[in-house]
């Protein structure tokens, strides 16, 4: 047990809001967790998930305690030593790499990984194994926003800070339900509006939610029509003269081509396509156009789409034509779903990224990283993305996969395909804290990992705020921190450069690699983070006022011309369209008290009470036409599989649209409440983010 007794600062391990907490070790080995009153994000407040963090740490009944391995697919798993597990894994990886090349192996990680874990994984895979086959579940979450930022602003950067909430007088919330999914941030919006009733809140969502309850205007659009709506708003802004021509002339490019596209479609036509009254579009545009400062917030409703990049770009365009960026209270604020999706992007932890936002396609950038690491040449070709990895496993291009800190057999779309892929994989390593995930059934090697509060490291939240997470208690059994597992494996592979004295040494190497880039954090170290609690990047060494609340305040963007790019996005439809056999549009979503695949929140009885089981939300008119009543068991089927859950009738959802929560996987011996049995494997062609928010299903009474 740890010798600490005073509370130690950390950050909540759930959503990207990144609330500060204080963790106190108790004499019996348990911990208590409270909101950190000094932390700038939440000032001591926590949502229901954060308030129950301690139970997830203290309940260790599901923890993996020692490495396990099987010597062939036909033999059972048996307990082994760390040395044996890593030596055999290294031998298998080496064999595949020698026979089939470095692209025959892959790592699939998580936006919950700490930055140091991302760093050593990236270094190992891209620098030393020589493949870019490292992707994470952030691909399922934020990759469309990443591409949108890069295409429009020149870099993957959130330009605003949370303090802009109190400075904005108009909010455009689209494809998000922050009242449930980012509650502490939403409370700041609520408090701001309560104190300033003239503040306008526009919420765009096919469903009425707790977030729409605060809205002055709810635009209940037909799923998938976001680009049309954004362009209609732009047209109304242009017609009303509510655009910033001086900003456009001096700081943006591409306006004329964009203008031609948005003016080509009459507002009445857009309104009909979106299922939103034309008057409401004009009213929303008038709120945006008259705002002193407007802030947009979005999550999966835009990102998880076959046109996710287009949706992001069309939203960013609204900021660019109104000049609402780079000044207090104004700009785009993408809300990350995971606690360290941002940190992962900074480290380059996706299969198409390099550290510190360097460009994989740029030979000079690759050479720079290679030289810094002292590694072999970095591959120029992007590696497999999340869904591509499982396709490559299924058809044999990929021989081995190492899954850590994520549960793809609940979270991937069209999950039956992922199951088939893991069944065919030649070698599967699962690095996990819990004995529950479905992936364990396919594992050749199981590696027990330390959980939150059992290891130290750093994370970056949605406003570029980096914080240090303390280690408070020891991990149970033989579980090890993820970074240590990766470094031990790298050494077993025979690679130099993984002899870090401690986690801080990894962090120091990471910060040095950012020097001179736009996200330069070379002035940061653990001592600074402990002293300041947290800082927003960039944070350059020797800089007089190192912390950076907002980006682009000089209106100089990260493009070659220094101008932001207004992208003339054309309207496209790439989703699976409803038809006579599958007439409903299925969308997926999250509920207030659960987080992702419930490995942690599902253990807490208080959190299960809010909504204890999976359900299908369906409009009462649709239910009546099917003879379905409240709580009736229904079968939701698509071309890929089926789900059987109870119906919840709600006028909050549009007729013709149904919703399944994304959290439930296999439970009580059945996987028929798993939404991803039916979701589509369609992905955005650029970001490769899946289309979780749109597929065609049939609903029948069971």
CB closer to ligand SF4, 563 vs 590:
590
Helix or strand run (H / E) with residue 445: strand 445-448
Q: How far is the CB of 49 from ligand SF4 (least distance, A)?
A: 4
Contact 353, 345 (CB under 8 A): yes
| Burial class of residue 609 in the structure, from the number of CB atoms within 10 Å of its CB (0-12 exposed, 13-18 middle, 19+ buried) | exposed
Q: How far is the CB of 479 from ligand SF4 (least distance, A)?
A: 23
- What CA–CA distance (Å, rounded) separates 401 from 386? 11
CB closer to ligand SF4, 52 vs 567:
52
CB closer to ligand SF4, 182 vs 218:
182
Q: How far is the CB of 40 from ligand SF4 (least distance, A)?
A: 13
CB closer to ligand SF4, 49 vs 654:
49
Going by C-alpha positions, the residue among 600, 571, 235, 227 that lies closest to residue 434 is: 600
The CA R_g of the chain, rounded to the nearest whole Å, is: 24
Number of Cα atoms under 13 Å in the Cβ half of residue 245: 6
CB closer to ligand SF4, 529 vs 636:
529
C-alpha 43, offset from chain centre: 24
The residue with tokens 């048996």 is: 78
Q: How far is the CB of 342 from ligand SF4 (least distance, A)?
A: 13
The first and second tokens of residue 462, run together, are 């949605």
Q: How far is the CB of 560 from ligand SF4 (least distance, A)?
A: 37
Collapsed DSSP state (helix, strand, coil) of residue 191: helix
CB closer to ligand SF4, 183 vs 578:
183
Q: Which residues pair with 170 in a beta bridge?
A: 200, 294
CB closer to ligand SF4, 440 vs 453:
453
CB closer to ligand SF4, 166 vs 474:
166
CA separation (Å) from 31 to 118, 269, 468, 474, 658? Answer: 26, 58, 18, 11, 41
Going by C-alpha positions, the residue among 399, 460, 453 that lies closest to residue 424 is: 399
Collapsed DSSP state (helix, strand, coil) of residue 409: helix
Q: How far is the CB of 661 from ligand SF4 (least distance, A)?
A: 16
CB closer to ligand SF4, 186 vs 258:
186
Q: How far is the CB of 16 from ligand SF4 (least distance, A)?
A: 7
- What CA–CA distance (Å, rounded) separates 86 from 20? 35
The first and second tokens of residue 188, run together, are 């700041």
CB closer to ligand SF4, 18 vs 326:
18
Q: How far is the CB of 164 from ligand SF4 (least distance, A)?
A: 17
Phi, psi of 470 (to 5 degrees): -80, 150
- What CA–CA distance (Å, rounded) separates 601 from 50? 10
Q: How far is the CB of 602 from ligand SF4 (least distance, A)?
A: 15
The first and second tokens of residue 335, run together, are 């809300």
The residue with tokens 């700038």 is: 40
- Which residues have a Cβ under 8 Å from the Cβ of 409 and sit 6 or more positions away? 415, 418, 419, 422, 437, 438, 439, 665, 666
Q: How far is the CB of 340 from ligand SF4 (least distance, A)?
A: 11
CB closer to ligand SF4, 610 vs 701:
610
Q: How far is the CB of 42 from ligand SF4 (least distance, A)?
A: 6
Q: How far is the CB of 185 from ligand SF4 (least distance, A)?
A: 7
Going by C-alpha positions, the residue among 428, 437, 431 that lies closest to residue 451 is: 431
CB closer to ligand SF4, 132 vs 601:
601
- What CA–CA distance (Å, rounded) separates 314 from 219? 16
Helices 308-322 and 255-263: crossing angle in degrees, nearest 10, is: 110
CA separation (Å) from 188 to 193, 410, 700? Answer: 9, 32, 42
Q: How far is the CB of 182 from ligand SF4 (least distance, A)?
A: 6
- What CA–CA distance (Å, rounded) separates 595 from 604? 11
Residues of this chain that interact with ligand SF4 (CB under 6 A) are 12, 14-15, 17-19, 42, 46-47, 49-50, 182-184
CB closer to ligand SF4, 406 vs 461:
461
Going by C-alpha positions, the residue among 58, 48, 163 that lies closest to residue 549 is: 163
Sign of CA dihedral 514, 518, 523, 526: negative
Closest chain position to ligand SF4 (CB): 50
């Amino acid at each position: 047990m740890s010798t600490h007794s005073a509370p130690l600062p950390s950050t909540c391990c759930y959503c990207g809001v990144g609330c500060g907490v204080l963790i106190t070790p108790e004499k019996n080995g348990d911990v208590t967790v409270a909101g950190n009153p000094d932390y700038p994000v939440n000032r001591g407040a926590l949502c229901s998930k954060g308030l129950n963090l301690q139970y997830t740490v203290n309940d260790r009944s599901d923890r993996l305690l020692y490495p396990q391995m099987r010597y062939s697919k036909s033999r059972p798993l048996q307990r082994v030593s760390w040395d044996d597990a890593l030596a055999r894994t290294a031998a298998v990886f080496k064999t595949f790499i020698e026979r089939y090349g470095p692209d025959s192996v892959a790592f699939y990680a998580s936006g919950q990984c700490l930055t140091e874990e991302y760093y050593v994984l990236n270094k190992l895979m891209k620098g030393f194994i020589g493949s870019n086959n490292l992707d994470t579940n952030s691909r399922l979450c934020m990759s469309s926003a990443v591409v949108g930022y890069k295409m429009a602003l020149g870099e993957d950067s959130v330009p605003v800070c949370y303090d802009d909430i109190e400075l904005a007088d108009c909010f455009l919330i689209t494809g998000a339900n922050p009242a449930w999914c980012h509650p502490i941030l939403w409370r700041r919006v609520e408090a701001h509006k309560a104190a300033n009733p003239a503040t306008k809140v526009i919420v765009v969502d096919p469903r009425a939610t707790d977030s729409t309850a605060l809205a002055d205007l709810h635009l209940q659009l037909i799923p998938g029509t976001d680009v049309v709506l954004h362009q209609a708003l732009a047209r109304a802004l242009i017609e009303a003269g509510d655009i910033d021509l001086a900003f456009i002339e001096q700081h943006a490019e591409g306006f004329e081509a964009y203008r031609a596209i948005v003016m080509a479609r009459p507002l009445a036509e857009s309104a009909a396509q979106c299922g939103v009254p034309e008057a409401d579009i004009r009213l929303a545009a008038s709120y945006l156009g008259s705002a002193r400062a407007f802030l947009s917030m979005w999550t999966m409703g835009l990102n998880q789409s076959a046109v996710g990049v287009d949706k992001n770009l069309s939203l960013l365009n609204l900021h660019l034509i109104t000049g609402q960026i780079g000044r207090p209270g104004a700009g785009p604020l993408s809300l990350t779903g995971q606690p360290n999706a941002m940190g992962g992007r900074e480290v380059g932890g996706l299969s198409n990224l390099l550290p510190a936002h360097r460009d994989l396609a740029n030979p000079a950038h690759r050479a720079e990283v290679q030289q810094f690491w002292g590694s072999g040449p970095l591959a120029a070709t992007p590696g497999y993305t999340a869904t591509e990895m499982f396709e490559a496993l299924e058809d044999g291009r990929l021989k081995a996969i190492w899954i850590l800190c994520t549960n793809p057999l609940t979270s991937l779309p069209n999950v039956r395909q992922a199951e088939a892929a893991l069944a065919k994989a030649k070698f599967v390593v699962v690095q996990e804290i819990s004995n529950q995930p479905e992936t364990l059934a396919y594992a050749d090697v199981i590696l027990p990992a330390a959980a939150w509060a059992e290891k130290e490291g750093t994370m970056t939240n949605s406003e570029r705020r980096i914080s240090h997470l303390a280690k408070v208690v020891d991990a149970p059994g033989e579980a090890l921190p993820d970074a240590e597992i990766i470094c031990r494996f790298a050494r077993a592979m025979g690679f130099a450069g993984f002899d870090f004295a401690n986690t801080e040494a990894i962090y120091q190497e990471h910060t040095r690699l950012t020097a001179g880039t736009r996200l330069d954090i070379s002035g940061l170290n653990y001592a600074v983070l402990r002293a300041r609690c947290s800082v927003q990047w960039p944070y350059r060494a020797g800089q007089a006022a190192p912390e950076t609340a907002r980006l682009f305040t000089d209106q100089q963007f990260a493009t070659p011309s220094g101008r932001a790019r207004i992208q003339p996005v054309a309207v496209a439809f790439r989703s699976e369209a409803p038809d006579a056999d599958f007439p409903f549009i299925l969308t997926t979503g999250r509920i207030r008290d659960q987080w992702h695949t419930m490995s942690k929140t599902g253990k807490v009885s208080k959190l299960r009470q809010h909504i204890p089981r999976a359900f299908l939300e369906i409009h009462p008119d649709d239910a009546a036409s099917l003879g379905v009543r409240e709580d009736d068991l229904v079968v939701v089927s698509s071309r890929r599989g089926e789900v059987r859950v109870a119906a919840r009738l709600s006028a909050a959802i549009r007729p013709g649209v149904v919703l399944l929560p994304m959290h439930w996987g296999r439970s009580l011996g059945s996987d028929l409440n798993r939404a991803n049995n039916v979701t589509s494997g369609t992905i955005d062609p650029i970001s490769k983010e899946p289309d979780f928010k749109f597929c065609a299903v049939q609903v029948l009474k069971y």
